[in-house]
Amino acid sequence: MKDFDLEKLERKNIYKVPENLFENIQGKVLSGLNDFDLEKLERKNIYTVPENLFENIQENVLNNVLPAKKAPVFKLNWGYAVAASLALIFGATFVFNNDNSKGTDSQATVASNNQEKKTESEIAYETLKSDLTSVENNNQTVVNQSDNKSFAKDEQNEGQETATKTVKPVSKKEETQVNEYLDSFSNSEITELASNSTQDVYLDLYN
């Protein structure tokens, strides 16, 4: 290629060119796209939209902003309230009617129950009396108990005082019973009992 002359080389375009290039260019120019006016284009929404879109949105929003989905719960409470009121009214009417028909019987029952209660309280009272009697037999007299006042509260003392007050008549009764019992013995039997018993030396000291 020593004698290469650029001037003698053929003028050639070697780049690839799409088919109908110039027709297309002319077509675009002439089609009026150059005069394209956006304002004349139809306003369209071309995006896909799921079904029930707005129903779902409204439901979600209402669930969120109105935890007053309480509303049905509130209605349900009213239902319960009405049912409860009716039950109460019918129940009360039923009980009231029964009370009227069985009034005498029930009163009698109450009376007998009261009698039974009195018996029980008497039993309890007797038990208390016997307990207090046993205390008195151990030489814990009313006077001795009153000495303890300074160590006990007023309330307790009041209780003790009432207790000791009740002791007195019981102890007298017991004494008479003991005396009657002793009278039933003959003199010889008493002598025999005395000889069998031992003398309590400390008893003299306190007497």
Partner 1 sequence: MKIKDTEIISLMQNPRTQEKGVRALMDAYQSRLYWHIRRIIVDGDLAQDTLQETFIKAYQNFHQFKNDSQLYTWLYRIATNEALQQVNKLKKMQKTDEDPEYYMQNLVADNTEGDAEEIQLLLQNAIQSLPEKQKLVFMMRYYDDLPYEEISKIVDMSVGTLKTNYHYAKQKIEEYIKENYER
Structure tokens at 121: 């309280």
Measured from the CB atom, is 62 or 111 closer to partner 1?
A: 62
CB of 75 to partner 1, least distance (A): 14
- Find out whether 132 and 166 touch, Cβ atoms under 8 Å: yes
Measured from the CB atom, is 49 or 110 closer to partner 1?
A: 49
Measured from the CB atom, is 38 or 201 closer to partner 1?
A: 38
Sign of CA dihedral 183, 186, 189, 195: positive
CB of 27 to partner 1, least distance (A): 6
Between helix 70-101 and helix 103-137 the angle, nearest 10°, is: 90
Binding to partner 1 (CB under 8 A) within 3-62 occurs at 24, 27-28, 31, 33-34, 36-38, 41, 43-50, 53-54, 56-58, 60-62
Taking the CA atoms of the chain, what radius of gyration do you get in angstroms?
59
The residue written with tokens 């969120």 in the block is 64
CB of 53 to partner 1, least distance (A): 7
Task: Give the CA distances from residue 168 to residues 1, 134, 164, 177, 182, in Å, rounded to whole numbers and listed in that order.
Answer: 159, 12, 7, 14, 21
- How far apart are alpha carbons 196 and 6 in whole angstroms? 170
Measured from the CB atom, is 17 or 205 closer to partner 1?
A: 17
x-marked contacts with partner 1 along 154-183 as a string, rule CB under 8 A = ------------------------------
Measured from the CB atom, is 45 or 188 closer to partner 1?
A: 45
Q: Which positions touch partner 1 (CB under 8 A)?
A: 24, 27-28, 31, 33-34, 36-38, 41, 43-50, 53-54, 56-58, 60-62, 64-66, 68
